[in-house]
A and B are shown apart, each in its own frame.
Chain A
Amino acid sequence: MIFLWEGLAEAARLLWTGDARTYHAVLVSLSCTTAAVSLAALLAVPYGAWLGLYSSTPYRRVQVFTLRVAMSVPTVVLGLLVFAFLSRRGLLGELDLLYTRTAIIVGEFLLAFPLLGSLVYGATARVEARVVETALTLGARRGQALVKVLGEVRPALVAAMLAAFGRCVTELGIAITVGGNLPLHTRTLASTAQLELSRGRFAAALAPGFLLLVLAAGATMLASWPERNSRP
């Protein structure tokens, strides 16, 4: 039990003393997750909204089904999938991307995409068809109608982005399988925790957990900021 307190103290100490490995891991976690979630959002948000709003999309139900199933792929399997392509024997082996942050970003992109896609689909599918039709009859193009609806469901969008952020920033399978857990290179907060646990240093394993909480709080505050401003 006592190592719970020690963990908190250790987290404070690492931050206070400017521990290079800790700050680097924070940076890797943040940058990889932000890049992966942003890229995934760029594609998955319009895609999910398209599926949600336009029931005439061909094979719509198959696509939704695939998105939902893909949400349950374990991160280790996603990691192995990326590994298969980036490995020196893989299709993209020439790029020498295995054990780099880019590899982590690719894996986390695959993790975030189905989650964002299906959450956005869920949010937009409930928007009444009338909203779209009205926008269209008022002369809006399909893309414009989509932007309008996305504005309507903004809280759900924020929640989806935060869910994707949380899933990516805490995941372990991808970071270890294609990141390699290399210190000052691809080691994330989550893989730091895993390593310290396997070393028997329980307090040191908890410290990254507390730092992750701080990151999550920061992301949540950042995400809900525009919401608060727009709704007095």
Chain B
Amino acid sequence: MLRRNLMLALALALAGCSTFSPDNPPRVRLATTTSTYNSGLLQELLPPFEESTGIRVQVLAVGTGQALALGERGEVDLVLVHARRREDEFIKQGHGMERRDMMWNDFVILGPPQDPAGLRGGKDAPAALARLKDKRARFVSRADDSGTHIRELALWEEAGGVPVGETFYLEAGQGMGNCLTLADEKEAYILADRGTYVAFSSHLDLEVMVEGDPALRNPYGVMLINPRRHPHVQFAAARKLLDYFTSAAVQRRIEEFRVAGEALFHPAAQMSP
């Protein structure tokens, strides 16, 4: 009696679960970085696509490292990330294909208003980091294998080496927002993407110290997961989304997108002047 009730309850619960997730219309999964999602850009670009094609897009907003890992395992149908060297590797290893530039945004180096290292107004990012190291001014590193972290490391390399282990180099291991808050509380310098900084600026004392260096440009690439490696991917639907992202109309919409009155992303066509 008890056992029969138990089986019945289990069966009911499982039946409840399965009616829960009807996946009837074609569905594309896009793994992307938090910056594109959190800024609200994708929420603006995707609904018209879903409406005109009937394809549902599920967005997994994770770090670049995780997005590529999900692509490598075939959990998603396309990826939109910003770490050019990793993307090329990803293609070379046969996980991804048809990479296209979609857009770019830029990084800024932020610091406390007192600016103890005297970076304000700088245009040369590696030189600014070298100066930080010289003055032993606090710097918060994402240290989470994200696209921003990868860029941080590249800039430090150019500045003569990553100061891992130094007391002024704080490895946070958290998302951009949490790191900004941390840097603000610790009166430290930090490399941030402009979008997240704009979203957080009303909670922060941090100010822009260095911007406009071409080395701070952050290109976003979108690519398809190789269907030969993962036969189950929604290749045709994913390619439609890829074409849509790089279409003239969407490129224009990217250009016109504003958060708090600021342009955050620029069409990739502007990449080469």
Give residues in A with beta carbon < 8 Å to B. 31, 35, 38-39, 42, 87-89, 96-102, 105, 143, 180-182, 185, 195, 197-202
Contacts and interface: CB of A to CB of B under 8 A. Distances in A.
B203 A88 contact: no
A39 B13 contact: yes
Contacts of B200: 200
A42 B21 contact: no
Contact of B17 (A42, A101, A198, A200): A101
Given A98-B75, A102-B21, A182-B59, A198 B230 contact: no
A66 to B, nearest CB: 22
A182 B43 CA distance: 12
Instruction: Tell me the dominant secondary structure on chain B's binding face.
Output: helix
A206 to B, nearest CB: 13
Nearest to A28: B20
A96 B21 CA distance: 10
A161 to B, nearest CB: 15
Contacts of B75: 87-88, 98
Nearest to A95: B18
B74 A143 contact: no
Interface string B127-159: 000000000000000000000000000000000
Contacts of B177: 197-200
A66 B34 CA distance: 37
B178 interface: yes
Contacts of B9: 38-39, 42
B122 interface: no
A180 B10 contact: no
B36 to A, nearest CB: 12
B41 interface: no
B73 A88 contact: yes
B74 A88 contact: yes
A198 B176 contact: yes
Given A42-B9, A185-B58, A199 B17 contact: no
Nearest to A3: B203
Interface string B191-209: 0000010011011000000
Contact of B38 (A87, A180, A198): A198
Contacts of B74: 88-89
Contacts of B164: none
Given A35-B16, A182-B59, 7 more contacts: A38-B9, A88-B73, A88-B74, A88-B75, A96-B23, A197-B177, A200-B203
Contact of A101 (B21, B196, B203): B21
6 A-B pairs closest in CB distance: A200-B200, A200-B199, A102-B17, A100-B21, A198-B177, A199-B38
Nearest to B43: A183
B20 A101 contact: yes
